[in-house]
């Protein structure tokens, strides 16, 4: 089983969207978890509503600290974006790391439609990247770490 940790600061929006979407799409042998370096303690209600609209189960997902993880992941993917000068936490440990920056929809402002569009954009970008990961040949997914790292980095540049 390969475990992927989606990591950001607050663990309330992007990392939760990524975790739930990943687990919804994951083939056998793959599982995602999420955490934050400074978790907010709650999942953003718009994230939960979006997952429900997309038919993705969200029961049991909660905002948690990386300090409370029960296992060491195989892969850590940071999802912090560049909005508001956000700094991604650096996971320490012997894991494969990649960065899939996505701006935080929790910081969106303006009309209801604009805020909703921010959440949809974050979700669509993360989903496209997760689908690209699972579209990789088995030889890349299960092969040498450096080949998978190159692909994870490439996927991190994809938009929806």
Catalytic residue among 26, 88, 115, 120: 88
Identify whether 8 is a catalytic site residue: yes
Q: Which two tokens stand for residue 131?
A: 């689908």
Give catalytic status of residue 80 as yes or no. yes
Exposure b/e, 7-31, CB count within 10 A at least 16 = b: bbbbbbbbbbbbbbbbbbebeeebb
Catalytic residue among 4, 7, 8, 16: 8
- Biggest alpha carbon–alpha carbon distance for the chain: 47
Catalytic annotation, pick one of 17, 43, 77, 80: 80
- Interaxial angle between packed helices 45-53 and 14-25, expressed in degrees from 0 to 180 and rounded to the nearest 10: 20
88 is catalytic: yes
DSSP string, 36-52: ESS--SS--HHHHHHHH
The set of catalytic residues is 8, 80, 88
């Amino acid at each position: 089983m390969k475990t992927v940790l989606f990591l950001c600061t607050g663990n309330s929006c992007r990392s939760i969207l990524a975790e739930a979407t990943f687990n919804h799409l994951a083939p056998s042998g793959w599982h995602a978890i999420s955490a934050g370096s400074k978790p907010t303690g709650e999942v953003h209600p718009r994230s939960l509503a979006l997952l429900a609209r997309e038919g993705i189960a969200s029961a049991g997902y909660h905002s948690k600290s990386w300090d409370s993880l029960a296992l060491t992941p195989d892969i850590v993917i940071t999802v912090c974006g560049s909005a508001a000068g956000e700094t991604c936490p650096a996971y320490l440990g012997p894991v494969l790391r990649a960065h899939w920056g996505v701006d935080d929809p929790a910081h969106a402002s303006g009309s209801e439609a604009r805020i909703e569009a921010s959440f949809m954009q974050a979700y669509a970008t993360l989903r496209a990247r997760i689908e690209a990961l699972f579209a990789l040949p088995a030889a890349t997914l299960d092969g040498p770490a450096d080949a998978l790292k190159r692909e994870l980095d490439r996927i991190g540049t994809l938009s929806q």
